[in-house]
Amino acid sequence: MTDPRGLDSISTVPILKRIADRRREGYVPDPAYSPPPPDCDTCGDTGWVGETLPLGATGFGAAKPCPRCGPAPRPIAPEGMTFEAFNTYGDHPNDYKLKGALKIATAFAAGDWPVWVTFLGSNGSGKTHLAYAMAQARRNRGERVAAVRSSRLLAAIFAAMGDDTPGSPGEVIESYSKIDVVLLDELGREGHTEASLTRISEILNERYVERLPTIITTNWSLEAIGKVWPDVASRMADSSLGAIVDLEGVLDHRKRG
């Protein structure tokens, strides 16, 4: 598909197929995880596009930031994922966690402490709802924000290793390391190889050092994260920078009456 501005969009189908075929650096996607369609149809959530130029022309083969979402996918909170629509219930002993989570989330949205927020919890606990509401609020403040699933982020990084894919792994990593705010959704669903762990750690460690606002959601416990990413778990637990929001034990909102 050709963008009306003269830029060719990148289909994620050949990219993901190439990743599966080559298994670069031992990267193996989680076979139980089926990623949803990309948020950006122009670049397929890679954040980069190539311009159609004659062979040998100046700029041939160079990558350009996606004209729709920039060098990283822009967050678009799904319909209904707002603070106003977040239900804290009150009919279950663990529902107090929802009230605490909402308080921390709105503080982050306003630009106050915490700088990092990590949501731990099972499916349906509300962590993704709050995370997207936070990301949308920061974007509404005029900040550059990227929201991406960890598996899709790694797909973009490894796809950039392909000979016919614009951009480089370093450029993709830098875009997520430096952008104003990042929402990294579903950490732990991306396959746990040395290569994938290194890429995720590189991005999060850079954001920690620079004190850049970061939102993380995961189904894992902090202890489980520490066994895989000890450096990342340590940064999550730094109370001077961030907060851990534990929603484990909260009932799945999809199963409530």
pLDDT attached to residue 104: 97
**Cα(130)–Cα(119) distance, integer angstroms:** 9
Helices 194-209 & 150-159, crossing angle to 10 degrees? 110
| Rounded distance between C-alpha atoms, residue 252 and residue 97, angstroms | 13
| pLDDT score recorded for residue 76 | 67
Query: What pTM was computed for the model?
Result: 0.71
Residue 40 has pLDDT above 80, yes or no: no
Q: Is the pLDDT of residue 6 over 50?
A: no
Under 8 Å between Cβ of 221 and 189: no
Domains of the chain: 7-65 (no CATH), 93-255 (3.40.50.300)
Q: Report pLDDT digits (tens) over 187-219.
A: 987 666 777 788 889 999 999 999 999 999 999
Q: Which of 77, 79, 86 is nearest to 105 (CA)?
A: 86
Question: What pLDDT is stored for residue 33 in this prediction?
Answer: 42
C-alpha separations of 248 from 72, 77, 105, 194 in Å:
30, 23, 17, 28
